């Protein structure tokens, strides 16, 4: 018997404002579309605190600034899709956030 699927990615956040305000809101909104539990860690700040990707308060409390490296970890049946989508959002520089 195997456990739930999991997926992980580590990448730099290059948005000029990091993972704050609008970018964080877009990140949380996208994470909420998936059934899997997704956690975020700011590796640049030591990686001690883990945030639930569905919580705007927890995500912004990580203090992710431009250039910081984050780790995304998802567990559940759509874990790979969740990590892929969130990674694409971060790599796009949160393009949707800047279009408002």
pLDDT in tens, 49-64: 999 999 999 999 999 9
Q: pTM of the entire structure?
A: 0.90
d(CA 43, CA 34): 23
* Domain tally, the chain: 1
Q: Return the minimum-mean-pLDDT range out of 4-13, 55-64, 90-99.
A: 90-99
d(CA 71, CA 41): 5
Tell me if 44 is assigned to some domain: yes
Q: Return the minimum-mean-pLDDT range out of 11-25, 29-43, 63-77, 84-98.
A: 84-98
How many Å is the Cα radius of gyration of the chain? Answer: 13
Q: Which two tokens stand for residue 53?
A: 């990707």
Reduced to 3 states (helix: H, G, I; strand: E, B; else coil), residue 71 is: strand
* pLDDT at residue 79 greater than cutoff 90: yes
Active site residues: 20
- Note down the domain range covering 41: 6-95
Tell me if 68 is assigned to some domain: yes
d(CA 38, CA 74): 4
């Amino acid at each position: 018997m195997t456990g739930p699927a999991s997926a992980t990615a580590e990448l730099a956040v290059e948005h000029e404002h990091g993972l704050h305000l609008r970018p964080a809101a877009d990140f949380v909104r996208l994470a909420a579309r998936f059934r899997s539990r997704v956690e975020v860690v700011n590796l640049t700040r030591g990686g001690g605190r883990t945030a639930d990707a569905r919580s705007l308060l927890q995500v912004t409390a990580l203090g992710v600034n431009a250039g910081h490296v984050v780790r995304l970890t998802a567990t559940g049946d759509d874990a790979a899709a969740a990590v892929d989508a969130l990674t694409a959002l971060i790599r796009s520089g949160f393009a949707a956030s800047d279009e408002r």
